[in-house]
Amino acid sequence: MAGGVAGLALNGFLYGWPGLWFALKGMGLGLLVYLPFFALRGMGAGDVKLMGAIGALIGPWNWLAVFVLTGLLGGVIGLALAFSRGRVLTTLLNVGCIMKELACLRAPYLKREDLDVANPDALRLPHGAVIALGAIGFVSAVKIWGAW
């Protein structure tokens, strides 16, 4: 959580109370969006803290752009991983099961334990690396095309 503290301190130091409020909103949004994934055992706590830290550093609107970019990259990398392991059909069936269980307001891992990120048989994607790629991609886009 050092990144979150650094984001709060840096924005507070550089921009005063408005900067601190900006960082808190970014951190809050990151945690608010990612905590349910952790509670449903879809990702680890480190991913949640990383997205909170990114939100504290770049604020809520920029965080949304990183979130979208991370989702797109994660989808592409996840499909590549499923193809490389020969588990495309299983992965698609798992997504269907997850959607069905969530629509019924149930945690998917309660129906099938292979949907728990802690299960050693689960196909896992290192989401922290995808988050880092999304953040780097966002910073690169801002550098190339200007601020949003």
CB 52: neighbour CB atoms within 10 A?
A: 25
CB 1: neighbour CB atoms within 10 A?
A: 11
Q: Domain residue spans in the chain? A: 2-145
At 148 the pLDDT is 61
For residue 105, give the H/E element and its range. none
Task: Say which residues have a Cβ less than 8 Å from residue 118's Cβ, sequence separation at least 6.
Answer: 41
Span 31-87, pLDDT tens digits:
999 999 999 988 899 999 999 999 999 999 999 999 999 999 999 999 999 999 999
At 30 the pLDDT is 96
Span 75-115, pLDDT tens digits:
999 999 999 999 999 999 999 999 999 999 999 999 888 88
Euclidean distance between CA atoms 65 and 144, whole angstroms:
15
Under a CB-based contact definition with an 8 Å cutoff, are residues 4 and 53 in contact?
Answer: yes
